[in-house]
A and B are shown apart, each in its own frame.
Chain A
Amino acid sequence: MATNIGPMAYFQEQLQKGVFMIQRSRSTGKFTFYPRAVEPGTGSDELEWTRASGKGRVYASTTLYPRRKPPYNISIVELAEGPRLMTRVIDVAPEDVQIGMEVYARIERDLKEGQQGAPVLVFSVQPEARGVQS
């Protein structure tokens, strides 16, 4: 899937269309996230885009307690494909997010105040959200 834009722009463009894409190295078979121009560690530029499974597990999690807003979650999710990413786990009270929980990718468009419409990759504890809309 050759593109004429950089990997980060391509990723965002796909996310905007409702698709969560991830890179895989043709030479090592390993997945890479965040999107990069070369594979970290090997420097291989044979990275191809593939649709992410959308499945993952919570690797680390914290609940933040801002002064004037309700508490919210920040987690690191380990994707079924291997790489980890920073995200937010939704559809559960922030304090109830547990390490090891299975979570499912979802594209949220109004997560951040003042940036409505921008697609953000979050993870739900609800399996029915598994199929990221395509």
Chain B
Amino acid sequence: MNRLRGKTAVVGAAYAGVGSSPGWTSMELAAQATKKALDDAGLRLADIDGLCAATFYHFFPTLTVGEYLGIQPRWSNSDTVGGSSFLSHIAQAELAIDAGLCETVLIVYGSTARSSRDLNGLIETPETEKLYDPMVPVSGYALAASRYFHQYGATREDLARVALSARQWAALNPDAELRDPLSLQELLDAPLIASPFSKYDCCLVSDGAAALIVTRADRAKSLRKPPVYVLGNAAAHWHREIAQMPDLTVTAASVTGPAAMSAAGVTHGDIDVMQLYDAFTLNPILFLEDLGFCQKGEGAAFIAEGHIQPGGRLPVNTNGGGLCFAHPGAYGLFALIEGVMQLRGEAGQRQVEAPDIALIHGNGGTLSHQATTILGTGNCLD
């Protein structure tokens, strides 16, 4: 168990403008999410003395957000590693708070990926790879899927079951974008975009913003909502571009999962609910395996047994995930927020029964950066 277990807590969590928000800028949406998260916590903007941010559009995201909000943080961090950046931010914030560099950290993100049709923002593709016209990022994940199919005999039907589960969860979430039921056959009949993926295997392209507020555990107790404690974090990255990934079927989640669980002092059987960053249907299969919930090559069979869908014993992506809830360019902060909502019992129809421990796994780049965060209720600190 790590020394920092339970020393910081999430006290505010909110999203804004999720789905389609034409006519709004990413900073405007981020500011709305910030206001909602502050209200959620019962804090004022003046209470924020630490800031983390990462967007696709701003070279200096913390400077831009800090100026926009009119705050003067004592500490800030803009680790930018893709969709998992915000899990890295939680880990950095935990350290900064423990070191006394700041007390209350705002982690914020905003995007107009849908309305601006700017999916990649400042993200560059190497000159040596641009020449081949890859569709970034879908072709990278499709290449990984091709390798996974080759090595483990997986099929499009295995991917479709991930999409089906996401739909079932989304049907229970009034904020989710894609809530209409779909049949397995409809999924399999959809035309390919990048083999073996059809559009149903790809996450949404949404607008939206999210904000999370983290503070010292002793301060968290006096705030509006029950604190959600940070129990453990781990992050690792092994490559940037997919062609340099050591093994296309094994992600660095195989390191971050065990490390985060060890830091949190929990085992697989303790996890009540999980959010696994589903940029593509392949991802939850890889992450279930790499995080150790099943053996390599058995993720699809595990999903086919119904464990991750509503009513299953290991609920995964309970808001509908990036596939069906929303995916505004980067999804990590939304995955964290769903974990917080579940632990607070605020998830409405999709609420998992009295969870105490949530595992949130983030992914950045093309399976490049992996980060695992374990959150828990006050029951975990006894």
Contacts and interface: CB of A to CB of B under 8 A. Distances in A.
Nearest to A99: B150
Interface string B118-141: 000000001011011111000100
Contacts of A100: 150
B301 interface: no
Given A74-B134, A74-B143, A111-B131, A86 B248 contact: no
Contact of A65 (B144, B192, B244): B192
A65 B138 CA distance: 11
A10 to B, nearest CB: 13
Contacts of A84: 243-244
B143 A61 contact: yes
Contacts of A72: 133
A132 interface: no
Interface stretch (A21-29, A47-55, A112-120): A112-120
A76 B195 contact: no
B150 to A, nearest CB: 4
Given A76-B243, A99-B147, A63 B194 contact: yes
A60 B147 contact: yes
Contact of A76 (B126, B131, B145, B242): B242
A16 interface: no
B241 interface: yes
A86 B132 contact: yes
Contacts of A62: 139, 142-143, 145-146, 194-196
Given A112-B131, A112-B133, A95 B195 contact: yes
Contacts of B142: 62, 64, 74
B31 to A, nearest CB: 35
B191 interface: yes
A107 B240 CA distance: 25
A76 B245 CA distance: 10
A38 interface: no
A86 B146 contact: no
Contact of A86 (B144, B193, B195, B241): B241
A103 B134 CA distance: 19
A66 B195 CA distance: 12
Nearest to B191: A65
A64 B135 contact: yes
B146 A85 contact: no
A106 interface: no
Interface string A1-39: 000000010000000000000000000000000100000
Nearest to A67: B193
Contact of B132 (A8, A95, A111): A111
Contact of A74 (B128, B139, B144, B193): B139
B132 A59 contact: no
Interface in A73-121: 74-76, 84-88, 95, 99-100, 111-112, 115, 118, 120
Contacts of B242: 76, 86
A35 to B, nearest CB: 9
B147 A63 contact: no
Contacts of A59: 147, 248
Contacts of A76: 143, 242-243, 248
Interface in B187-242: 191-196, 241-242
A86 B129 contact: yes
A105 B135 CA distance: 23
A99 B195 CA distance: 13
A63 B195 contact: yes
A64 B194 contact: yes
Interface string B150-176: 100000000000000000000000000
A100 B193 CA distance: 23
Interface in B239-260: 241-244, 248
Given A74-B139, A86-B241, A60 B144 contact: yes
Contacts of A88: 132
Nearest to B248: A60
Q: Which 3 A-B pairs have the closest CB atoms?
A: A62-B142, A86-B243, A60-B143
Given A60-B144, A86-B243, A99-B147, 15 more contacts: A34-B126, A60-B146, A61-B143, A63-B194, A63-B195, A64-B142, A64-B193, A65-B195, A74-B132, A74-B134, A75-B143, A76-B248, A86-B132, A86-B241, A99-B146
Interface of B: 126, 128-129, 131-135, 139, 142-147, 150, 191-196, 241-244, 248
9 contacts: A34-B126, A60-B144, A62-B194, A84-B243, A86-B129, A99-B147, A99-B150, A112-B131, A115-B131
